Structure 1
Amino acid sequence: MKSLLVLYKTEFKLALREFSGVLFGILLPIGIMLLLGILYGDKLAYENAPYTLLQQSVAAVLTVGICATGLMGVPITLSGYREKKILKRFKASPASPLLLILAQFLNNMTYALISSVAVVGIAVLCFGYRMIGNPVLFILSYFLLMAAIYAMGAMIASVAKSEKIANMLCTLFYFPMFFLSGATIPYELMPKGLKLFADVMPLTQGIKLLKATSLGAWQNDSMNAVWILIFTAILGMIIAVKTFKYEYES
């Protein structure tokens, strides 16, 4: 546990120097929340709706930090460590590579949690946000989505033979989810054809689940979202474990 804590602190300091984690994992969600709060104010989601546009949007904004850290931070950093032979060096040291990987996961989770606390804090203090639904179910849904997205990140980190390939795969996964899952553009405003494409993405299902639990609007397909996220988390970790290598031959 002491070794993990030391590695976690080191990873956190290194990530701060990089700044991209702070920019995309923390500042970007905060910026989106401020923008939506100013644009939406206290407008209702639709005529006679029991919740406002802001209440509908907070859950989606929270996922921006998860998406950035899970699909960019985790895979790019770990694939970079492999390419630079850092994982190989850890294999020969008393501290196992597993500790380094766990420290990297904890580091990115910290960024995501800081982002989420900041977003909710701004929504509550600046725009009068109040959650309608069950906070416990919402938190459980939040961590289920995090598990699914981080499992995808671990999968990318394992199958990518170089940092360049990891960057390419991260781009292919991250940007479609970021723009088309409902994290930025509201899912409800998308045309039917685009919704069908978006529904394939785990992040879309996660946002649907977070909205359902935060708005107290559990629907028939909410449980489907739960099973999709569980399946994604399990499958992603199985692939990540089965394909993981400390180094790939040049």
Structure 2
Amino acid sequence: MKAFAALTATELRLLFRDPASLFFMMAFPLMLLVLKRGDGDAVPGYIAMIVAIGGMGALPGIVASYRERKVLKRLATTPISPILLFGAQLVAQVVAGFAGSVLLVVAAVTLFGTPAPRDLPMLAAAFLLCTVMVCALGFVVAAVVRNTRGASLVGMLVMFPMIFLAGAAVPRRALPEPLRRIGDFLPLTPGVEALSGAWSGAAALFPLVLLAGIIVVATAVAAALFRWE
């Protein structure tokens, strides 16, 4: 446990020292909130966007860099398994996403008078499942694309269309019908739906079940394809 806690603390420090991650997970959602004038309907989508930026935009490059720099190979010969490193990275993404989300929610409620979320337990469950889901997808990207630049690029190429078509950046009702149909099949869509339902007090279990299923499948795919070097 001490080794895992130390790894997690290190991953968090590295994550918060990255200017791009800090901007897109902390400042960028706040800028969108100001532009939307505190629109409460947009906040759950922005939370999904925050965790997608961490899990898909940042994580693949980080994991690929560990492989490229032989960190994983060296760890495999020590009592600290590479699996612990992946677990620490996952926890770091959850903590960073939570920090960005709390900052966003506090700003929305206190500065713009946005109604507070009505179902906090379901919102917490939706947040956790959504975060783990995008991180699982990020591990899949890192398993398929072996170099740092390539993994980062592919992660962002997947992330940016997904946050727009899944309703994280803009409401899906504002999209043309063909784009909404594409969004129906994107893994972030049930995350946005779960967060929005919990926020409004109309939470449904089906989006949570979908998120759990995606986590299981993505984790299995990542485990089957991943190579330490």
- TM-score strictly above 0.5: yes
Q: Deviations over 1:104-159 (max 9, x none)?
A: 11222221011000000001110112236322122212212112111111111122
| 2:215 is equivalent to residue 230 of structure 1 | no
| 2:165 is equivalent to residue 180 of structure 1 | yes
- Asked whether the equivalents of residues 109 and 116 of structure 2 are also in contact (C-alpha less than 8 Å), the reply is no
Which one-letter code corresponds to 2:29 in the other structure?
Answer: P
Looking at structure 2, the residues matched to 204 and 108 of structure 1 have their Cα atoms a distance apart, in angstroms, of: 20
Give the match for residue 15 of structure 1.
15
Q: Structure 2 length as normaliser, TM-score?
A: 0.93
Q: Structure 1 length as normaliser, TM-score?
A: 0.85
Please, what is the CA RMSD of the aligned residues? 1.7
Give the match for residue 92 of structure 1.
77
- Asked whether the equivalents of residues 94 and 128 of structure 2 are also in contact (C-alpha less than 8 Å), the reply is no
Percent identical: 28
Q: Deviations over 1:45-96 (max 9, x none)?
A: xxxxxxxxx2211111111210000002211100111011111111122221
Give the match for residue 34 of structure 2.
34
- In structure 2, runs of 5+ residues without a counterpart are none
Moved more, 132-141 or 120-129: 132-141
Which one-letter code corresponds to 2:76 in the other structure?
Answer: K
Looking at structure 1, the residues matched to 105 and 14 of structure 2 have their Cα atoms a distance apart, in angstroms, of: 27
Count of residues in Structure 1 that have an aligned counterpart in Structure 2: 229
Which one-letter code corresponds to 1:237 in the other structure?
Answer: T
Looking at structure 2, the residues matched to 150 and 205 of structure 1 have their Cα atoms a distance apart, in angstroms, of: 15
Looking at structure 2, the residues matched to 15 and 217 of structure 1 have their Cα atoms a distance apart, in angstroms, of: 34
Q: Once the 2 structures are TM-superposed, how far is the Cα of residue 16 of structure 1 from its aligned partner?
A: 3.0
Moved more, 63-72 or 99-108: 99-108
Looking at structure 2, the residues matched to 177 and 160 of structure 1 have their Cα atoms a distance apart, in angstroms, of: 19
Looking at structure 2, the residues matched to 67 and 205 of structure 1 have their Cα atoms a distance apart, in angstroms, of: 13
Looking at structure 1, the residues matched to 41 and 202 of structure 2 have their Cα atoms a distance apart, in angstroms, of: 11
Give the match for residue 6 of structure 2.
6
Give the match for residue 61 of structure 1.
46
| 2:95 is equivalent to residue 110 of structure 1 | yes
Moved more, 74-83 or 147-156: 147-156
- Asked whether the equivalents of residues 59 and 211 of structure 1 are also in contact (C-alpha less than 8 Å), the reply is yes
Pairing partner for 1:158 from 123, 127, 143: 143
Pairing partner for 1:242 from 221, 224, 227: 224
Looking at structure 2, the residues matched to 223 and 134 of structure 1 have their Cα atoms a distance apart, in angstroms, of: 13
Give the match for residue 215 of structure 1.
200
Q: Deviations over 1:13-48 (max 9, x none)?
A: 2223332211112221222222222xxx6xxxxxxx
Which one-letter code corresponds to 1:35 in the other structure?
Answer: L
Which one-letter code corresponds to 2:226 in the other structure?
Answer: F
Looking at structure 2, the residues matched to 141 and 16 of structure 1 have their Cα atoms a distance apart, in angstroms, of: 24
Task: Determine which structure has more spread, i.e. the larger CA radius of gyration.
Answer: 1
> Residue 71 of structure 1: SS of its match in structure 2?
helix
Q: Once the 2 structures are TM-superposed, how far is the Cα of residue 223 of structure 1 from its aligned partner?
A: 4.3
- Asked whether the equivalents of residues 166 and 172 of structure 2 are also in contact (C-alpha less than 8 Å), the reply is yes
Following superposition, which runs of at least 4 residues in structure 1 exceed 4 angstroms of deviation?
none
Looking at structure 2, the residues matched to 155 and 87 of structure 1 have their Cα atoms a distance apart, in angstroms, of: 16
Which one-letter code corresponds to 2:34 in the other structure?
Answer: L
